[in-house]
Amino acid sequence: MQALLSVAPGGPETLELTTLPDPEPGKGDLLIGVKAAGVNFPDTLIIRDLYQMKPPRPFAPGGEIAGEVLAIGEGVTGFKVGDRVLALTGSGGFSTHLTIKAATAIKLPDTMSYEDAACFIFTYGTSYHALKDRAAIQPGETLLVLGAAGGVGSAAIELGKAMGAQVIAGVSSPEKADFCRQIGADETIVYPRDMDKTAQKFFAGEIKALVGPGGVDVVYDAVGGACAEPALRSMAWKGRYLVVGFPAGIPNIPLNLALLKGCQIVGVFWGASVFREPQTHAGNVQELFKLYNSARIKPRITAQYPLRRAPEALELLAQRSVLGKLVVTMTKE
């Protein structure tokens, strides 16, 4: 097998493509021939030791995969060799072979490609958990998505529309705004990547001009940094501010704003919810498959990379210049 290994903390340039013996499935395990792996922002952090999870080195990044069951470990039921599955792995996905706990594998719909499957659960799972379980968004409500052109952001746009919301996409370039309109955003706002106080005030004014004096019902913040305060100032009474991620930095929020707005600041830790609330997660996955099969959602894959070029994908993601999703395929290209 081949694996792209992190051997020391550092950026994508430190990863090493390595040939290793094929793994064997242990008790309760499946051996997966990986066909594709999604590329997600945590992958850029985990190799730098900046993520909550710190697997022992050497390890391969790659937190979600899709592939074929090659072998079945002792005690596993419900799967057979040849089954097509996806799984959340946390790490290890940037490899041609991987053993996973059978309990973490999810069989794919016949209509879903390996590429779509590898870019499905992390982004749609996060955004569906955020909008459904944490915000309880309702038809007709307004939804502001910050970082809307990225993986979880674009998923939030599609899901927000499928759930009947009026969606405003906040992005950092006209190109990203065009992309968001193409996937269903009703309105877009382009904000500067580096905002001073004047720019923050202007951004808040732009939001209020679109939504009116009532404010935004739900903010989906996958950016953090200077975007957070103006978005919070634009909240509706009893609005829900979803804290999803901080690629622009962890913001300092004036908590008096939450009091004045009567709004909630709600943490979205989807990875923990999967383990703490497995039945809810399983139900959400089946609902997402139904939305996929009805063509209401589909991963927006804008580029594919063979395993040896995966560091390029990680570098683009770290620069926050990616539209939609990137996928690594286990080709010999």
* CATH 3.40.50.720 domain position(s) in the chain: 123-271
CA nearest to 296, candidates 158, 95, 110, 104: 158
> What pTM, to 2 d.p., does this model score?
0.90
> Is residue 167's pLDDT more than 80?
yes
* CATH 3.90.180.10 domain position(s) in the chain: 2-120+299-329
pLDDT confidence band for 175 (50 / 70 / 90) = very high
Measured distance CA(21)–CA(17) in Å, rounded: 14
Say what the pLDDT of residue 311 is: 97
Domain with residues 2-120+299-329, CATH architecture: Alpha-Beta Complex (3.90)
The answer to whether 127 and 152 are in contact (CB under 8 A) is yes
Measured distance CA(162)–CA(204) in Å, rounded: 26
Q: 282-330: per-residue pLDDT in tens?
A: 999 999 999 999 999 999 999 999 999 999 999 999 887 788 899 999 9
Q: 100-110: per-residue pLDDT in tens?
A: 999 999 999 99
Q: Other C-beta atoms within 10 Å of 171: how many?
A: 25
The answer to whether 96 and 155 are in contact (CB under 8 A) is no
Hey, what CATH topology would domain 123-271 get? Rossmann fold (3.40.50)
Say what the pLDDT of residue 333 is: 53
Alpha-carbon distances of 173 from 21, 35, 179, 203, rounded to whole Å:
45, 33, 10, 14
pLDDT confidence band for 247 (50 / 70 / 90) = confident
